[in-house]
Structure 1
Amino acid sequence: MKKGTLRKVFTSVTSIAVLGSLMLPGMSQPASADRGVVDLWKSIKPLTTIASAMNTGAHPDDEHSAMLAYLSIGRGVNTSSIIANRGEGGQNEIGSELGNALGIIRSRELQEASKITNVTLGMLSEQIDDPIFDFGFSKSPDETLEKWGDSVVYERLIRKIRELRPDVVIPAFLNEESTHGHHRAINVITVRAYKDAADPKVFPEHMKKGLQPWQIKKMYVPANEKDYNVAVPVGDYDEIYGASYVQLGEESRFMHKSQGMGRHVEEGSSFNYYKLNSSAKSVKETDFFDGIAFTFEDLAKEIEAKGKDQKVIKDLRNLNKDADEVVKAYPVFADVAREVQEMKADVEAAISDVKASTLDASVKTDLLYRLQVKEDQLNKAGLEATSMVVKVKPETSEIVAGQTVKMTVTVYNGGKSNLKNIQLQLNVPEGWTAKAAGTTKFDQLSYNQTVSAAYEVQIPQNAAEFQVYQPSVVSADVMYQLEGVSGKIRVTPTTQVAVLPAFAMSLSPDATVLNTLKTEEPLPVKVTVRNYSPGAAKTSVALNVPQGWTVTPASQELSFAAKGETKPLTFQVKAPAGTAVGKYTVAAAATSGSVTSKENVQVIEYPHIGRTYLIQPAELKIQALDLQVPTGLKVGYVSSGFDNIDKYLTQFGVNVTQLDTKAIQSADLSQYDTIVLGIRAYGFRPELLSSNQRLLSYVENGGNLVVQYHKPEDKWKPELAPYPITIGTPLIKWRVTDENSKVTMLAPDHPIFTTPNKITAEDWNNWIQDRSAYNPSVWGKEYTELISNGDAGEKEFTGTFLSAKYGKGTYTYSSLVWYREIPNLVPGSIRLFVNMISLKQ
């Protein structure tokens, strides 16, 4: 095993209790040499403790990864991470996906990160377009809870607490003014939930569903080395994992690739600090679990102090001994497997004894929950110790309603334990049928042997389409016996089984503008159709347009020879003269017999998260607006990879050229009327730093250079601009989050506000998510301050939009969030951006 690194892989197998908590079905990973012994240790370490902890956060990557690694895979604590939203409002450092598609990527990354630290993951956001969404930066917990719906997010958090019953809860952030409003909101409701989760009058409907109130024993909040109760030694080095816990935590953070997370940390002592916020017990703090039962022996002593139920006390002490025996047997797989089965038998006996005991109802509920968790952990440990490899293999993972497919469940025994009474069962949704083609029961399974069961699965015509945040629609249960004790494992396919529309249609463009000054020009609409039907198929494709609009041709026929084949069609859509400014929709439909498909299937696939899908209506969004664009305007665009504004400029009638490294370094820049740098371009296009003088010379000789916002860490330096511009810090203070905030044009006669489009107060209406980010705090007197704007109750910024003459040309720096506004076809942002890139004309 390599020092300082965890090269770990997890099978798609998970215990039944944990399966339901995952956001998305698991993805397969390639095998790794150290997989067996490390996975075995990771599975048996939790058997030694009955303690539990929960970390709450707002977004994917908010988890305290080093602390979670220490608790979960270091000490074996049953650890959970509860995250509110899916990061839909953030930026994407690996692709162009934004919004819901980005939320899917970040959710998958979070799931893979949680696997590394063996953490149970829970999401408060439950579906696409959920009320609990990432609406962008917020400065206020009150605004956040208002937008999410206080009662909605609070009910879901209380439900998670009552489901997982953590002894210790740790919100990831403090409720401080310098902190993101989403982070503050999670702190607020987590602190509030400390008491309310134990109150049966709070969300009493939970009890009707079998969830009992739960009193968290302690709550900690982040602290520093000057004022803390517990110092978590995350720098401790674990010889089995070959890394410290902070290094293991960073391994998980590297999975958040869309956010550029993960860092390399040297070996050495380090700590995370936490302060006790609330406690149900008065104890002196040195550890999260001081004064809290940590082992079965601790539980036995608590019950013994009550002077009754000796049988249960004996059971708990037996389990404490069992756990020690399992650990002593490591790393001999067969010995561990035997000890695991013995402990499982004792857990089953304890469950029976607790049910028959005279313990108080609340104590019974608590013991039965902890014993059920242990049974699930033992099932997983049994899987690792027996070296079973269990798979569900569909003949195809992309299916359509009405289709019949074959699926096979296989079990391979890679260990020395002789398994008996093997039973295989394929699980499918209600309404589906799974008919076994042969036997599903086997007397035994010895080393290096495989058994399998084949099923014919019929998907009904009314089958629900794929829902990305729901658990896998297909799973398999494997039952077996070892040492006379039963074991049960649930598995899901290594590739997601997705019910997709028979025909998926992608419209290009998927969003565009209609210039009401040129309604005589038709809009070309390309429809790319993919056949997901099994085999050859035919369909008729048509566009539904707004009343009074026309489309040519009315419909087109397509024939496909095979599944997966794609074919393009082109339609001409024409709006009537006098079309009013506003929003319009063109929708596609593919009809084949009695089946009509109206969706687009966006395939989302990256090596670290596998493949998944976002199914959305196959539509073209059209914004009609009055837009003047100078004839022949030629723009060079330097993309950072974070935006696709250049695509929209082309739709507006601008001649746009993407500038690559060679062009920036050596091309004749004077051929462009304007050069635009995408957001944070200096941080992701290193050639810009060495070529910055070329850009300034381009301006000095008469060019128009537009620079969109940067962070200081994007290698921005004040002297990159012709006259210094310093970005304000802390960054959280230098942004405007209210998209409806009042904007004052400080230089209304400036060409940016007059030519070729006259900008009025109405152009600042209907913006989305934010106004600006990372505003400058200091700038040269040579700049014209174009606008003032700020959030309510705060001092307004005047450096958001700066423009200056430099030599014969113009340099403009803007912190307005163009990359969100323009793809969402905000009219004022489009008109203003066209003016900004037209300054040379």
Structure 2
Amino acid sequence: MTLRLVILLFGLPLISFSQKPNQPNSSEILHRLEKINVLGSALYVAAHPDDENTRLITYLANERHFNTAYLSATRGDGGQNLIGPEIREALGVIRTQELLAARRTDGGKQYFSRANDFGYSKNPDETFNIWNKEEVLADFVKVFRMHKPDVVICRFPEDGRGGHGHHTASAILAHEAFNLAADPNAYPESAKEFGTWQPKRILFNTHRFFFERAGEEFHPENLLSEDLGGYNPLLGQSYTEIAALSRSMHKSQGFGSTGSRGEAQEYFYHVDGDSTTVDLMDGVNSTWSRIEGGKKVGAHIDNALLHFEAGKPQLIIPDLIKAYEELSQLEDGYWKSLKMEEIKSLIKDCAGLYLEVKANAESYVPGDELKLSIEAINRSDVEFDLFSVDIMGIQTFEVRQKLFDNRPLNMDKTYQIKEGMAYSQPYWLREKGTLGMYKVSNPQLISKPENDPSLQAVFTLKYGETYLDYKLPVVYKRNDPVEGEVYEPVVITPPVFVNLPDKVVVFANGEEKEVTVNVIAGKNGIDGKVELSLPDGWKSKPKKSKFSLENKGEQASFTFVVTPPASQSEGTMGAVATIGAQSYNYELQKIEYDHIPTQTLMSKSEARIVNVDIQKKGERIAYIPGAGDDIPASLEQVGYQVSLIEAVDIKAEELASYDAVILGIRAFNTQDALKFKNKELMTYVEEGGTLIVQYNTSHRLVTEEIAPYELKLSRDRVSVEDAEVRILKSDHPVLNQPNKITQKDFDNWTQERGLYFPNEWSPEFEAILSANDPGEPARDGGLLVAEYGKGYYIYTGYSWFRELPAGVPGAFRIFTNLISIGK
């Protein structure tokens, strides 16, 4: 029988296209063989990266062998970054890759909706006012129909006990999708593509915490429970140990986790569908008998299990081929597609097949020459022929050569990258979205965790009369003197990039300023002109500058003197490079961390420009970094000299020469040295200095002594960015010198007003401002000022770390006043 397959996207295993190929050992092969014999599916649902229960995903994927996935409503763009400076969209890219790294660890798959993590919200109504609920619900329904879960499990309840409005919204959406996925009239586009689906039940993965938050007693005996603490001898770890490794992939959130051993109970509350007190999967037929004709397939898998030998995994290939052929004759459907991919992948692993297409560079421009090295080797005595290789979208060529045991077959090919190929920008960032939603015009991409590889190849192997297709990414790899073999994704880029180093440029009082544009060559030998695009009333000298770059990767910097209009003004500045008749306005950003593949972002080259009426006193600032923010660069924009000082190096006598000392966000959470150096800071204040402490969380403070007087942090926050801010002390210096602060200075704030305000403080502090979200009491602890000795101590929970990098004029004026106090 001759057999050719169309590879379905949703049937592919979750393998990041820039990771080094993993060759499983025999125990892992046996583990995967056992999984092929299970036809069950589960979906975990929550709001953000790091919300998922990795213990449960690990258990369901590896003990129960269910096809398990996590649906995260967002990519976590609104969080903080503990490992670097990336925020917003770039942070969302990092957290997407951290989730994929977590799933590679725990064995799950990953989906997303188009919802954007716009920041904290306190209830689902606020969330749905910013998300497009219909679009997000459509995405949830699509994932339900595509993944076809027998059981859906939510991390959060629908009643608000999950705290964050996104959390509650994710549970509401999951429940609605549970009831809509079976209706062909609801979101018919995904019904047509994937068919309808009705999960058997939906559960809430509850915890003692949720009961305590509601003021209720926790009675686990009344709940469905499951012990997730089992040990898997084939994997050599307990599920809780694997889960800790998975959880630790969320490094940007600081969620490194230590593994545990022994019993680990999880509890579940019935939400809808069939109820059970027996087992999560009670009533789910997970055997081959669930599909018509499946028993014959299952019989061959049983034979493979019977014949398996750890030292000779290739012995089961005939059984797997028979199962594959038998399955190919069944009616098309979800389980057929999924299991054919699993069987085919296992055949490859049992034979020790290594298939690779390697490019000679990590990036290409449309029209470039592409040199490929192709390798195929069969490391078993099973007879395979390499029938053909398809470099997708470029050329298919027949090979028709036997792959002899441990004798590599190597070929070199040269092609040209097609004109018009799409650049490798993450698909959800290609178009401009809204505050709450990413715009994705291609419905085929919605729910996918990341782009398909820019270049792919399909190896077609022949075993007897059976053809097996293996789709693989074209990779670039290099040898690092320390790391050895390093894989990187191949990307398609424009021929030139124009980077604006400063994303916000602040002009004080109409003064002209130099703006730098870095022109980077995406290919060899480019010549052209670079210029700035400016709003009406703004001017630049020169108008254009010529560039000539000989080598790919070469960079040249150009300076333009920009003059703002006389009046206060703000807008968007862009950089544009022109080569011949073609213009390009992309900037290049590479994100490189050891725990995720290198990410290349190519967004529009734009910066916010602001001409603000601002006065300041003082010149020199010492900045003690915390969890990472861009405030130092923002302060330099308005003329301050900022010195970054590590917490361990703090000395009061050396700080005395600075006009102010500022602690970065969450410094008292992240800098261990502050448990000792806080005394040096207080001495600096006592002797006449100004200390500004930005927000910290009460959880995991390195010391309780964060202020010279009693100060108690809370979880109070004002999440509505345009919530009214009331002035409590209109005559206080921080509202009058050197800038007179008015209500206008609180206009156009972004994402939120502030977070983790203190709710108790000693009488030495003066509360300057008050704000609150709708329906909540006043939160007066966002800006507290106290005199201490000869100096001033300021604690502020207002979100300067968002407002200053966003170029909010009023935020600059207020923050300058904080620095200027007492001068």
The two structures have a TM-score, normalised by structure 1, of: 0.88
Instruction: Report what 2:530 is aligned to.
Output: 541
**1:117-266, aligned counterparts within 5 Å?**
117-125=106-114, 132-178=115-161, 179-207=163-191, 209-224=192-207, 226=220, 229-266=223-260
Looking at structure 1, the residues matched to 11 and 372 of structure 2 have their Cα atoms a distance apart, in angstroms, of 22
Instruction: Report what 1:780 is aligned to.
Output: 762
Q: Is the CA contact (8 Å cut-off) linking 1:108 and 1:609 kept in structure 2? A: yes
Q: Is the CA contact (8 Å cut-off) linking 2:379 and 2:405 kept in structure 1? A: yes
Instruction: Report what 1:394 is aligned to.
Output: 359
Instruction: Report what 1:410 is aligned to.
Output: 375
- Tell which deviates more after alignment, 215-224 or 39-48: 39-48
Q: Is the CA contact (8 Å cut-off) linking 1:435 and 1:456 kept in structure 2? A: no
- Determine helix, strand or coil for the equivalent of 2:812: helix
Looking at structure 2, the residues matched to 803 and 15 of structure 1 have their Cα atoms a distance apart, in angstroms, of 67
- Determine helix, strand or coil for the equivalent of 1:606: coil
Instruction: Report what 2:749 is aligned to.
Output: 767
Corresponding residue to 1:327 among 299, 305, 310: 305
Q: Deviations over 1:637-691 (max 9, x none)?
A: 1111411201111111112211134640475221112111111112222222211
Change (3 A) 1:744 1:422: same
Instruction: Report what 1:586 is aligned to.
Output: 573
- Determine helix, strand or coil for the equivalent of 1:741: coil
Alpha-carbon distance, 1:810 to partner: 0.8
Alpha-carbon distance, 1:18 to partner: 5.2
- Determine helix, strand or coil for the equivalent of 1:727: strand
Q: Is the CA contact (8 Å cut-off) linking 1:664 and 1:687 kept in structure 2? A: no
Corresponding residue to 1:26 among 17, 26, 29: 17
Q: Deviations over 1:250-299 (max 9, x none)?
A: 211111111112311231111221122222x46x43212211101114x2
Instruction: Report what 1:359 is aligned to.
Output: none
Q: Deviations over 1:353-397 (max 9, x none)?
A: xx4xxxxxxxxx7xx322222111111211221211222212223
- Determine helix, strand or coil for the equivalent of 2:381: coil
- Tell which deviates more after alignment, 685-694 or 415-424: 415-424
- Determine helix, strand or coil for the equivalent of 1:837: helix
Q: Deviations over 1:760-808 (max 9, x none)?
A: 0111111111111111122111110111111100111111211111111
Looking at structure 2, the residues matched to 257 and 335 of structure 1 have their Cα atoms a distance apart, in angstroms, of 42
Query: Percent identity between the aligned chains?
Result: 29
Alpha-carbon distance, 1:597 to partner: 1.6
- State the one-letter code of the partner of 2:457: A
Q: Is the CA contact (8 Å cut-off) linking 1:106 and 1:258 kept in structure 2? A: yes
- State the one-letter code of the partner of 2:194: L
Change (3 A) 1:649 1:643: same
Instruction: Report what 1:499 is aligned to.
Output: 492
Q: Is the CA contact (8 Å cut-off) linking 2:648 and 2:674 kept in structure 1? A: no
- State the one-letter code of the partner of 2:687: N
Q: Deviations over 1:709-749 (max 9, x none)?
A: 11123425443311011112xx3xx1111111111111111
Change (3 A) 1:727 1:249: same
Instruction: Report what 2:467 is aligned to.
Output: 486
Q: Is the CA contact (8 Å cut-off) linking 1:637 and 1:675 kept in structure 2? A: yes
Instruction: Report what 2:680 is aligned to.
Output: 694
Q: Is the CA contact (8 Å cut-off) linking 1:712 and 1:727 kept in structure 2? A: yes
Q: Which runs of 5 or more structure 1 residues have no equivalent in the other structure?
A: 1-13, 126-131, 301-311, 356-364, 429-433
Q: Which runs of 5 or more structure 2 residues have no equivalent in the other structure?
A: 208-218, 428-450, 476-487
Looking at structure 2, the residues matched to 22 and 647 of structure 1 have their Cα atoms a distance apart, in angstroms, of 43
Q: Is the CA contact (8 Å cut-off) linking 1:252 and 1:262 kept in structure 2? A: no
Looking at structure 1, the residues matched to 789 and 21 of structure 2 have their Cα atoms a distance apart, in angstroms, of 58
- Tell which deviates more after alignment, 149-158 or 543-552: 543-552
Instruction: Report what 1:82 is aligned to.
Output: 71
Change (3 A) 1:693 1:262: closer
Q: Is the CA contact (8 Å cut-off) linking 2:46 and 2:155 kept in structure 1? A: yes
Looking at structure 2, the residues matched to 24 and 86 of structure 1 have their Cα atoms a distance apart, in angstroms, of 18
The answer to whether structure 1 residue 684 and structure 2 residue 684 are counterparts is no
Alpha-carbon distance, 1:30 to partner: 7.9
Change (3 A) 1:15 1:235: farther
- Determine helix, strand or coil for the equivalent of 1:589: strand
Q: Is the CA contact (8 Å cut-off) linking 1:344 and 1:485 kept in structure 2? A: no
- State the one-letter code of the partner of 1:547: D
Instruction: Report what 1:600 is aligned to.
Output: 587
- Determine helix, strand or coil for the equivalent of 2:603: strand
Change (3 A) 1:348 1:549: closer
Q: Is the CA contact (8 Å cut-off) linking 2:631 and 2:805 kept in structure 1? A: yes
The answer to whether structure 1 residue 69 and structure 2 residue 58 are counterparts is yes
Instruction: Report what 1:635 is aligned to.
Output: 621
Q: Is the CA contact (8 Å cut-off) linking 1:58 and 1:182 kept in structure 2? A: yes
Q: Is the CA contact (8 Å cut-off) linking 2:71 and 2:111 kept in structure 1? A: yes
Looking at structure 2, the residues matched to 393 and 140 of structure 1 have their Cα atoms a distance apart, in angstroms, of 49
Looking at structure 1, the residues matched to 507 and 459 of structure 2 have their Cα atoms a distance apart, in angstroms, of 58
Corresponding residue to 2:795 among 787, 798, 813: 813
Change (3 A) 1:613 1:63: same
Looking at structure 2, the residues matched to 831 and 492 of structure 1 have their Cα atoms a distance apart, in angstroms, of 51
- Determine helix, strand or coil for the equivalent of 2:576: strand
Looking at structure 2, the residues matched to 473 and 206 of structure 1 have their Cα atoms a distance apart, in angstroms, of 25
- State the one-letter code of the partner of 1:704: T
Corresponding residue to 1:823 among 798, 802, 805: 805
Alpha-carbon distance, 1:414 to partner: 2.4
Matched length = 770
Alpha-carbon distance, 1:453 to partner: 4.7
Alpha-carbon distance, 1:24 to partner: 9.4
Q: Deviations over 1:182-237 (max 9, x none)?
A: 11111001111222111122122334x43321111111111246155432222111
- State the one-letter code of the partner of 1:640: G
- Determine helix, strand or coil for the equivalent of 2:656: helix
- State the one-letter code of the partner of 1:451: L
- Tell which deviates more after alignment, 84-93 or 414-423: 414-423
**1:203-602, aligned counterparts within 5 Å?**
203-207=187-191, 209-224=192-207, 226=220, 229-279=223-273, 281=274, 284-297=276-289, 299=290, 312=292, 315-328=293-306, 329-331=308-310, 332-349=312-329, 351=330, 355=331, 368-428=333-393, 434-435=394-395, 440-469=398-427, 470-482=451-463, 484-494=465-475, 495-515=488-508, 517=509, 519=510, 521-533=511-523, 535-576=524-565, 578=566, 580-602=567-589
- State the one-letter code of the partner of 2:334: Y
Instruction: Report what 2:430 is aligned to.
Output: none
- State the one-letter code of the partner of 2:18: M
- Tell which deviates more after alignment, 809-818 or 21-30: 21-30
- State the one-letter code of the partner of 1:195: N
Looking at structure 2, the residues matched to 30 and 455 of structure 1 have their Cα atoms a distance apart, in angstroms, of 22
The two structures have a TM-score, normalised by structure 2, of: 0.90
Change (3 A) 1:493 1:258: farther
- State the one-letter code of the partner of 1:504: F
Q: Is the CA contact (8 Å cut-off) linking 1:639 and 1:678 kept in structure 2? A: yes
- State the one-letter code of the partner of 2:172: V
Q: Is the CA contact (8 Å cut-off) linking 2:653 and 2:684 kept in structure 1? A: no
